[in-house]
Amino acid sequence: MFDLTGKVALVTGAGSGIGRAIAERFAKAGAKVHVGDLNEAAGRETVALITAAGGAAEFQQLDVADEASVAHVAAATGPLHILVNNAGIGHVGTILQTNAEDMDRLYRVNVRGVFSVTKAYIGTMIERRAGSIINLASIGGIVAVRDRFAYVTTKFAVVGITKQIALDHSAEGVRCNCICPGRVETPFVQARLKEYPDPAKAYQEMSATQLIGRMGRPEEIAAAAHYLASDEAALVTGAALMADGGWSVGK
């Protein structure tokens, strides 16, 4: 079950954190994984981890905000069975603390990036009448999160993109779903914690947001992605899979 042997996947933002965990899990399940990342050193490190474990992986330097970069990678990989739009960036602040440049920066990566990469691959998925697209949204795509105006705006858009693609293309053999993680202990989150006056206190407060009393692990999000990528999820399309440790309960 959940075998991905013979499948070809691209995971964007796979140089670290959730993206790396997904790439490693897919490769362990038998997929050939294209590791897409803007950071070449980080991406090649992911490839090295996969190949050392006996998996098949190839690095693709990818800037999801650059259409020329996306087109180059799409030509290099050829058609896919699985696309994971994981690359994303964040911003802290209310609308008063967010300027137009912040909004444009997050939109280019979090929204236009998902649009551009998906558009580059969905045509061949439709031709083959087979494909699984998995977008990494957020709990911030389901409920508002304090002081995350720009981020929440873009993640609500990712949920909308997911549902629209599912509505338009599920009958053509392409499933599209998204995962909505809560707090996950990734290098990105660890770096943000260092910006707080009291990182230890901030860590505890973030952990307490979730009913299970802790942050998630990248491997737990990878498990959700593995299910959505597999044939066992053949009935699942247009879904926003909550992996938030119970954060959204009661919201």
Q: Distance between CA 112 and CA 103 in Å, rounded?
A: 12
Tell me which residue of 9, 162, 1 sits closest to 73, measured CA to CA: 9
Q: Is 151 a catalytic residue?
A: yes
Q: Which of 121, 151, 196, 227 is catalytic?
A: 151
Q: Distance between CA 133 and CA 153 in Å, rounded?
A: 21
Name the residues annotated as catalytic. Answer: 151
